[in-house]
Structure 1
Amino acid sequence: MSLLMLYKGLHIAFMVAWFAGIFYLPRLFVYHAGNQSAEVDAIFKVMERRLLYFVTPFAVLTLVFGLLLIYNYGAAWFKASSWLHYKLLLVMFLYAYHGYCFKLLSDFKHDRNQKSPRFYRIFNELPVLVMFAIILLAVMKPV
């Protein structure tokens, strides 16, 4: 087995694990924002914190193995792969999205959330759309 294939497999596996959390966390925010019970509020705070801190290492490992892939393919390949440059722009958006989740988590933790459940429903759909675009770019390599 080549190191390149190992890196690719780990990159995909960690990406799937990361996305599982990125898809679920905003759904928790939807329910949390609509909640009126102090007891349930405390449960949501714990669940959200644990989930975000659980999936953050997967986000880091996705990045590490993605960079190892780029390094192993080489600079000439990277320069010629325009599709990858678009993919990386979308990936940067996902990392910003992930970082923004920490801000939202803090707002809930300190009872400062001002956003509606509807906002979080829309927020929840963004990574799905970005993931589709990333996968299509990686599979089709259109440009």
Structure 2
Amino acid sequence: MTAARLHEALAAALAAHPPLAGSVTAVFASPPVRAAAPYALVAEAVVADWSTKDAEGFEARVAVELHDGGEDGARVRALTGAAQAAVAAMPHALGEGWRIVSRGFVRQRIVRTRGEWVGTVEYRVRVLAGG
């Protein structure tokens, strides 16, 4: 398995989480060519081997970006909170025998760049095959 399945699962979890899905125009799994703000983007993960003696696995650093064109950062702060709740509510089973065995919050950052607010929430997710 590649991190693609985890990436898809994250995008699906964000899109299925009512507080977030009801507050953004869309959830993207790759950078959009055009998008109306506010929107969410699951950024590409940094992936490393995390296999054990008896199970294949990987560790991924995943980030969810929330983009907003508002005057202040209030809405993007609320969106980052909703994204955190969506990631926390994700099921452990990813399908095809893969499961999340741990997920840890790493950091959150909110910046204003090129006329928009961008909130980034980053996680370390460890995934193993089997079970």
Kindly indicate which of the two structures has a greater share of residues assigned to helix: 1
* TM-score using structure 2 length: 0.31
* TM-score using structure 1 length: 0.29
Greater CA radius of gyration, 1 or 2?
1
Kindly indicate which of the two structures has a greater share of residues assigned to strand: 2
